[in-house]
Structure 1
Amino acid sequence: MNIQFTITIAGQDHPQLVNQLAAITHSYGGKWLISKISRLEHQLVGIIKIEIPDNEVVQLKEELRHFSALDVRIIDSKAVEHPSFVKVRFTIESKDRLGIVRDITGKLDEMGIEVLQMENHRLAVPEVGEMMFFAELTLNLPTEISFNQLEESLLLVDDNLRIDGLA
């Protein structure tokens, strides 16, 4: 029988770091089912879902805990009943302001919507003379919530908010 668990990683990046982590997993007969790893200014962060034979779990977790090149956090998987959902992807544009990410994610949380991925940045737009906020979101939208309900709710966050690609 195989066991699945998730790890998060963070630390200073250096050559072969991801390969070393993958080699450790492989040495115990494990494999990465899903991974999302990003580098940002010489830092490495990521999340990895691992599947491994149950007789190797303890040894792999112990080696991961002692992998000194990165801060590794182990999150054991629990069986969870998932509601029906549809994956949606869209972009948001708005004048930048303090708290906009908090307000958007707060609204999504209130509605029980799971954020799968969110990337955002701010950019000075000389034509407007202001900083603008841009975000790309991928969400698990519960089937009982319509696109219109989602859009109406998000538009309450800010008068200047514009949503594209939601359909």
Structure 2
Amino acid sequence: MNAPSQPRQDAAPGDLKLDAYLPYRLSVASNAVSGLIARAYEDRFGLSIPQWRLICVLAEDGALTQAAIVTRTGMDKVTVSRAAQGLSKRRLVQRADHTSDGRSHLLSLSLEGARLHAEISPLALAYEAALIAGLAPSEVALLKRLLIRLQGAANALGGDTPPVSSPGLGS
């Protein structure tokens, strides 16, 4: 893999240079991290990133509707629905009627889903530790704060106001 090229310093102030463009840098970094971790989840556990995120959210928050999972993770409805269907077929999540909303169901982890979460969590934390090994703890804390602020700014610019999801959801 090639190292990212350095932005040209002689560019005019209004010129867009992709390597210096923060949204691009964030996307490339996110894709690199997600791809690395996705391969591990897929190879070892047969899980996609959306499925792993859904498992994490249910492990942290307990039973939720698909709409609540969409809000919590920032994933779209179709992605959440497909992830839930795949996990349901594998009996890693279970569906129950929603007592106050007959149109939706509550998803929760099955015992097998909870066991899988307990097995994968240390691996996820090990990947995180390896990724941030070259950063000081203060840099990690600053990075997390800045990412939360950027997400909030993007949500505000887009007219969205969903809560910021936890940084521990993996990629």
For this structure pair, what is the TM-score category when the shorter chain's length is used for normalisation?
Answer: under 0.3
Structure with a larger share of its residues in helix? 2
Bigger radius of gyration among the two = 1
Q: TM-score, normalised by structure 2?
A: 0.20
Q: TM-score, normalised by structure 1?
A: 0.20
Structure with a larger share of its residues in strand? 1
